[in-house]
């Protein structure tokens, strides 16, 4: 921890007012690292200036939005300053007739969605903890949910971005229109970059209409093979589902959840098609008929967030997994035996896109063993495993895993945008 000169808070008085600077408290610690100061700029310019001052003073800066995902990535190697976007929270423009919105990074997802809903629109993403998570944090962690299947990932929904670089530059790229190929696609560069290349200050998103009606179904199957057969059959059909996932756990039958949106007539037709597909795809063993809920905000579509509702953080770990869609059964069949031999309980949710989230529960050493073996096995089949939550006392385990042969190139990009390593040092892949 860099010893901060007592005059430093005054140093920042050049760009921020007194009530935007305060000493950090124990509650502001990140992965066991205690920053000393918290800054809350209220404009992009203030944020950029404060960041520049920090960079010049060789301080390590951790950007913070809602603070809901600060534990993702590795622990910072240094942590001097928290740079909060809490006061950069305005919705700057909702161009509803153009289906775009420009919003500051500190706006919560829930606030944004409520405003968009006034014109019957939405940001077609379902990130974690929308009441707390901010636009900047959601982008920086690349957090999105099951709607990705139909509407794309954050990289597909972001049209433009403004970032503050450690040298004080405020740089914008992309634009406000859906179709734009002028210049480099820097919005994609900062998506998922964990704030290590710049602090996002605003973003422009493309929007979608809110669905008129939705219908959700859940079926249970006997084993991962059957789950895979049905899921691949659905993907190969001409159903226009918007979300599709499977849930596995050590002590219950696998479940498949599917979500449809559209007109009543359209939904009726799709429901029949779906039932017919299930009938023909299943084994001769009769399973339960699809249950459907009128309210799709049911258990099934909160399953991802529910993984985090454990009581003891010291005995739980959560990982994000990526495999090929047709490796669904393989992934589920890898996890079971590894979890068993490591003596941990487990729960696994896998979207039809191949992205999944795993919770393992048990003593820290057992969790470490399970994750180590599982990551190795997944990487063998071209997949990946990233740790999002782990016990504080778990043995060292890199959050990201293998980053491939482009790591030197990633380092080069980092060194050009953040030469002093001011932003979130050590948190990203390869220790960036």
Partner 1 sequence: MGQAGLMEGRREVRALDLGLLNEFGSIVGKRGLICSPEELHTYECDGLTNFRVLPGAVLLPSSTEQVQSVVRLCHREKIPFVARGSGTGLSGGALPVANGIVLSLARMNRIHEVDLPNARVVVEPGVINLDVTGRVASQDYFYAPDPSSQSVCSIGGNVAENAGGAHCLKYGFTTTHVLGLEVVLPDGSLVHLGGKTLDTPGYDLAGVFVGSEGTLGVATKIILRIVKRPACVRTLLAAFPTTNEAGAAVSGIIAAGMLPAAIEMMDKLAIQAAEAAVHANYPDCGGLLLVELDGPLAEVEALMTQVDEICRSNGAWEIRVAQSEAERALVWKGRKAAFAAVGRISPNYIVQDGVIPRTALPQVMGEIARLSRESGLRVANVFHAGDGNLHPLVLYDRRIQGQEDAALALSFKILELCIAAGGSITGEHGVGEEKKCMMSKMFAEPDLATMQRVRCAFDPLQLSNPTKVFPAPRLCGEKPGEYVAHPVESAGLAERF
Question: What residues between 57 and 76 interact with partner 1 by CB under 8 A?
Answer: none
Stretch that binds partner 1, among 3-11, 125-133, 332-340, 407-415 (CB under 8 A): 407-415
d(CA 120, CA 103): 17
What is the distance between the alpha carbons of residues 180 and 172, in angstroms, rounded to a whole number? 14
Q: Does 276 bind partner 1 (CB under 8 A)?
A: no
Applying CB under 8 A, among 9, 67, 71, 175 the residue interacting with partner 1 is 175
Q: Which of 12, 7, 1, 95 is nearest to 47 (CA)?
A: 12
Between CA 371 and CA 386 the distance in angstroms is 10
- Nearer to partner 1 by Cβ, of 171 and 373: the residue is 171
- Binding of partner 1 by 29 (CB under 8 A): no
Of the candidates 75, 95, 277, 364, which one interacts with partner 1 according to CB under 8 A?
95
* Residue 410 touching partner 1 (CB under 8 A): yes
Nearer to partner 1, 20 or 424 (CB): 424
Contact 315, 391 (CB under 8 A): yes
We find the least distance from the C-beta atom of residue 198 to partner 1, in angstroms, to be: 8
Nearer to partner 1, 65 or 383 (CB): 383
Nearest-approach distance from CB 382 to partner 1, in angstroms: 6
Beta bridge partners of 64: 84
User: Do 200 and 139 contact (CB within 8 A), yes or no?
Assistant: yes
Stretch binding partner 1 (CB under 8 A), from 129-137, 174-182, 333-341, 364-372: 174-182
Which residues share a beta bridge with 360? 317, 346
- CB 259 to partner 1: min, Å: 14
How far apart CA 64 and CA 59 sit, in angstroms, is: 16
Site for partner 1, residues 331 to 390, rule: CB under 8 A: 353-355, 382-384, 386
d(CA 78, CA 256): 43
Q: Residues 285, 339: contact at Cβ < 8 Å?
A: no
Smallest distance from the beta carbon of 265 to partner 1, in angstroms?
5
Residue among 396, 427, 398, 432 at smallest CA distance from 414: 432
Q: Is 286 in the site for partner 1 (CB under 8 A)?
A: no
The secondary structure of 199-247 as a DSSP string is EEEEEEEE-EEPPSEEEEEEEE-SSHHHHHHHHHHHHHS----SEEEEE
Q: Which one among 29, 189, 277, 373 touches partner 1, defined by CB under 8 A?
A: 189
**φ, ψ for residue 36, nearest 5 deg:** -100, -30
Total binding residues for partner 1 by CB under 8 A? Answer: 88
* 397 part of the interface to partner 1, by CB under 8 A: no
According to CB under 8 A, which residues from 194 to 223 bind partner 1? 197, 208-212
Q: Which is nearer to partner 1, 118 or 251 (CB)?
A: 118
Restricted to residues 129-148, the positions that interact with partner 1 (CB under 8 A) are: 142
- Between 340 and 379, name the residue whose CB sits nearer to partner 1: 379
Residue 135 or 204: which CB sits closer to partner 1?
Answer: 204
CA distance 422 to 399: 20
């Amino acid at each position: 921890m860099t010893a901060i000169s007592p005059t430093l808070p005054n140093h920042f008085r050049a760009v921020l007012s007194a009530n935007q600077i305060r000493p950090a408290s124990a509650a502001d610690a990140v992965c066991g690292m205690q920053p000393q100061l918290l800054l809350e700029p209220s404009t992009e310019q203030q944020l950029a200036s404060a960041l520049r001052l920090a960079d010049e003073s060789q301080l390590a800066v951790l950007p913070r939005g809602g603070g809901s995902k600060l534990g993702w990535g590795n622990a910072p190697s240094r942590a001097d300053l928290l740079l909060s976007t809490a006061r950069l929270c305005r919705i700057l423009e909702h161009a509803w007739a153009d289906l775009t919105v420009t919003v500051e990074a500190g706006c919560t997802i829930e606030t944004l969605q409520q405003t968009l809903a006034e014109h019957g629109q939405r940001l077609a993403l379902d990130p974690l903890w929308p009441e707390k998570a901010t636009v900047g944090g959601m982008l920086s962690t690349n957090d999105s949910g099951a709607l990705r299947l139909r509407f794309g990932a954050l990289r597909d929904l972001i049209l433009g971005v403004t970032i503050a670089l450690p040298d004080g530059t405020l740089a914008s790229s992309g634009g406000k229109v859906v179709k734009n190929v002028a210049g480099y696609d820097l919005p994609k560069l900062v998506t998922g970059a964990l704030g290590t290349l710049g602090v996002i200050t605003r973003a422009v998103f493309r929007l979608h209409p809110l669905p008129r009606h939705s219908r959700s179904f859940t079926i249970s199957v006997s084993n991962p093979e059957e789950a895979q057969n049905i899921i691949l059959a659905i993907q190969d059909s001409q159903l226009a589902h918007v979300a599709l996932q499977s849930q596995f756990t050590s002590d219950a039958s696998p479940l498949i959840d599917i979500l449809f949106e559209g007109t009543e007539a359209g939904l009726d037709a799709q429901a029949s098609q779906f039932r017919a597909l299930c009938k023909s795809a299943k084994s001769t063993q009769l399973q339960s008929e699809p249950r459907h809920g009128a309210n799709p905000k049911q258990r099934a579509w909160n399953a991802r967030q529910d993984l985090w509702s454990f009581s003891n953080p010291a005995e739980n770990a959560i990982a994000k997994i990526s495999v090929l869609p047709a490796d669904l059964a393989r992934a589920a069949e890898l996890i079971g035996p590894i979890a068993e031999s490591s003596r941990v309980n487990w729960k696994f949710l896998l979207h039809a896109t191949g992205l999944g989230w795993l919770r393992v529960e048990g003593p820290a050493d057992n969790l470490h063993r399970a994750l180590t073996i599982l990551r190795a096995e997944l990487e063998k089949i071209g997949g990946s495993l990233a740790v999002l939550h782990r016990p504080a006392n778990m043995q060292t385990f890199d959050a990201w895993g293998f980053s491939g042969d482009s790591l030197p190139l990633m380092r080069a990009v980092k060194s050009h945008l953040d030469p002093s390593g001011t932003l979130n040092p050590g948190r990203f892949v390869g220790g960036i």
